[in-house]
Structure 1
Amino acid sequence: MCRLNLRVDFAFKKLFGSEENKNILISFINSVLDEEDQITDIILKNPYNSKSFKNDKLSILDVKAVDEKGVWYNIEMQITDQDYYDKRALYYWARLYTGQLESGVNYDKLEKTIVINVLNFNCLDEEDYHNVYKLFNTQSKEELIDHLEIHFIELEKYNKDLSEVQTALDRWTEFLKRAHEYNKNQIPAQLAEIKSIEKAIRVLDAMYLNEDERELYEARLKWLRDEEMALKKAEEKGREEGRREGVEEGKKEMVNNLLKLGVEIDKIIEASGLSKEEIQNLRNSIED
């Protein structure tokens, strides 16, 4: 038995993208939507199938669905930080939206499209863990069309205690962030209020991986960890280069000040560690 990490997109897709778990997905989607937009049924457009990405470990494991009103959804779990994720989210919305048009089909056939991004990192300069973006007139605040709706759920910004949860989305976010802490024998009352979360915990408890799935999951997990490590190394390299540049700039500023005070070059060389030529160049730049 292999307890899955739900924040790995493979596990997320296996739970939320399986036909037998559609009611779990519907409950999660409803927790994100406004009350007047609640749904009762969906059709999965790319249901979970390990064979479909067996030969492509880097494929995007999102969940695509259409509800009974014709609204399209794209739900994705992203565990590793990525530059320009806001642009990526907009691109995925555009691809799903324009993908509804077939040759010869009129624009009036386009339907509302909602993208839900569940992120294991901070992406937006906002305090709230859940933020929604739509198309509005910047002056009147009137909505141009309701066809664009992009949600960001940033798990790192969710820091509520169980006693503080209030909404259905609070409860689902609690589950998504800490699913590994719960099992069928330890389901807090606050989460058990939503039967689909209780079911999701029980499904995770019972979920197992066959040999092919285990290989895929481990490969996916390794790739995600490698991506995270590469990102951390790049960030550390950038910080180190920034520190070095900062030290050099600090030295040059000190030299400039000493030159302006008329301090002898030999003493400046001793104080700064710069060469006579470097100091002379700085002096020339001041004189220019």
Structure 2
Amino acid sequence: MCRINPRVDFAFKKLFGSEENKDLLISLINAIVSEEDRVAEVELKNPYNLADYQAGKISILDIKAKSEQGRWFNVEMQISEDYNFDKRAIYYWAKLVTEQLSEGMMFRELKKTISINILDFNFIPDTLEFHNCYKIINTATGKDDKLHDVFELHYIELRKFIKPYREITTALDRWSTFLTKAHQLDKLDVPEQLRGDPAIVKAITAVDRMFDEDERLIYETRMQALADVESKIASAEEKGLEKGREEGMEKGLEKGLEKGKEEAAHAIARNLLKQGLDHETIAQATGLSVGVIAALAEAGESAGFP
């Protein structure tokens, strides 16, 4: 069985963002984008580097790649629930566009930039589809007239992927099965619906042996941090709900819930600051702003905490 959860961002980054696994990234991209945007080769713009991560130079574990046609891709795995992820996705898409210009390009040379966001939580309401694609369209005609074809944003909601093995037909089905059922997969007994895909077979084998001792420590620390966040948020929600019930008013319920969430987020942030994590990583984990994290850090220093 796979001992590493590939949905954890640190593991996802090494699995799909390493030079030796570029073929896996290419397969994943091609499973999601349209036929015209599929790639044969990519250049990793921020390849996995353990030393950079240990030195605190990497806080957001997205994967940036450029295809041989010049198209740019941003691929990110998000395991923690974030109801503002739509804004974050647009922000990182825009950053990738501006990075093209920073390479000395003129506006007319801007290439299509595709953002792929794989979420381990339900995000898009009123749809059971697990893969949704957003483009800029003409609202008068309801059509994509290709006038603004540099924008494309994909959401893959893994919690909505519920196909049994017998219904797996596409490459995206296979990758979604791998990401959601890695803990059940055995490299010596790969299900029939997956074993015909060399990329999936390689991923199952790779994820079982890809960490050395230092990397496993980081992975386990990241797993624990994510578990702590989930636990404290759940406790905060329960506390807020109980407070709301005691007050017997809808306003009290909302206020208690929000206060409980805020208190839990602050407590988590203080703990992560003591562990030496950078402000942006803590903001991502807790949902607090970088400004709030900085204020908590300053308050901690004033109180004599490390």
Q: Is the 8 A contact 1:183 1:205 kept in 2?
A: no
Provide the residue aligned with 1:136 in structure 2: 137
Provide the residue aligned with 1:282 in structure 2: none
**SS of 2:28 mapped into structure 1:** helix
Provide the residue aligned with 1:277 in structure 2: none
Whether 1:223 aligns to 2:225 is yes
Q: Is the 8 A contact 2:52 2:58 kept in 1?
A: no
Distance 2:99 2:118 in 1: 22
Give the Å deviation of 1:4: 1.3
Q: Which runs of 5+ in 2 are unaligned?
A: 251-306
Provide the residue aligned with 1:181 in structure 2: 184
Question: Alpha carbon RMSD of aligned pairs, Å?
Answer: 2.1
Q: Which runs of 5+ in 1 are unaligned?
A: 250-288
Query: CA 1:107–1:57 in structure 2 vs 1: closer, same or farther (change >3 Å)?
Result: closer
Distance 2:75 2:95 in 1: 14
Whether 1:149 aligns to 2:149 is no
Q: Is the 8 A contact 1:15 1:21 kept in 2?
A: yes
Provide the residue aligned with 2:66 in structure 1: 66
Worse-matched range after superposition: 37-46 or 211-220: 211-220
Distance 2:218 2:79 in 1: 16
Identity within the alignment, %:
51
**Counterpart pick for 1:236 among 227, 234, 238:** 238
Provide the residue aligned with 2:272 in structure 1: none
- Which letter maps to 1:173? S
**SS of 1:101 mapped into structure 2:** helix
Q: Is the 8 A contact 2:137 2:143 kept in 1?
A: yes
**SS of 2:152 mapped into structure 1:** strand
Provide the residue aligned with 2:164 in structure 1: 161
Distance 1:160 1:202 in 2: 23
Give the Å deviation of 1:87: 0.8
Distance 1:108 1:237 in 2: 54
Worse-matched range after superposition: 89-98 or 235-244: 235-244
**SS of 1:152 mapped into structure 2:** strand
Residues 113-143 of structure 1: per-residue CA shift (max 9 Å, x gap): 1111111111111211110101011121232
- Which letter maps to 2:236? A
**SS of 1:150 mapped into structure 2:** strand
Q: Is the 8 A contact 1:57 1:220 kept in 2?
A: no
Output aligned runs, 1:43-122, within 5 Å.
43-56=43-56, 59-102=59-102, 105-122=105-122
- Which letter maps to 1:233? S
Structure having the higher Rg: 1
Distance 2:86 2:231 in 1: 22
Distance 1:219 1:55 in 2: 16
Distance 1:87 1:231 in 2: 21
Distance 2:19 2:229 in 1: 30
Q: Is the 8 A contact 1:58 1:220 kept in 2?
A: no
User: After TM superposition, which residue ranges in structure 1, 4 or more long, deviate above 4 angstroms?
Assistant: none
Q: Is the 8 A contact 2:27 2:199 kept in 1?
A: yes
Give the Å deviation of 1:104: 6.1
Give the Å deviation of 1:57: 9.2
**Counterpart pick for 2:202 among 199, 202, 213:** 199
Query: CA 1:104–1:61 in structure 2 vs 1: closer, same or farther (change >3 Å)?
Result: closer
**SS of 2:4 mapped into structure 1:** coil
Count residues with an aligned counterpart.
248
- Which letter maps to 1:97? V
Query: CA 1:248–1:200 in structure 2 vs 1: closer, same or farther (change >3 Å)?
Result: closer
Worse-matched range after superposition: 49-58 or 67-76: 49-58
Query: CA 1:58–1:68 in structure 2 vs 1: closer, same or farther (change >3 Å)?
Result: closer
**SS of 1:91 mapped into structure 2:** helix
Q: Is the 8 A contact 1:74 1:116 kept in 2?
A: yes
Residues 64-83 of structure 1: per-residue CA shift (max 9 Å, x gap): 10011111111111111013
- Which letter maps to 1:149? E
**SS of 1:205 mapped into structure 2:** coil
Q: Is the 8 A contact 2:73 2:113 kept in 1?
A: yes
Give the Å deviation of 1:227: 1.7
**SS of 2:205 mapped into structure 1:** helix
Q: Is the 8 A contact 2:18 2:48 kept in 1?
A: yes
Distance 1:9 1:248 in 2: 40
Provide the residue aligned with 2:261 in structure 1: none
**SS of 2:239 mapped into structure 1:** helix
Distance 1:15 1:205 in 2: 11
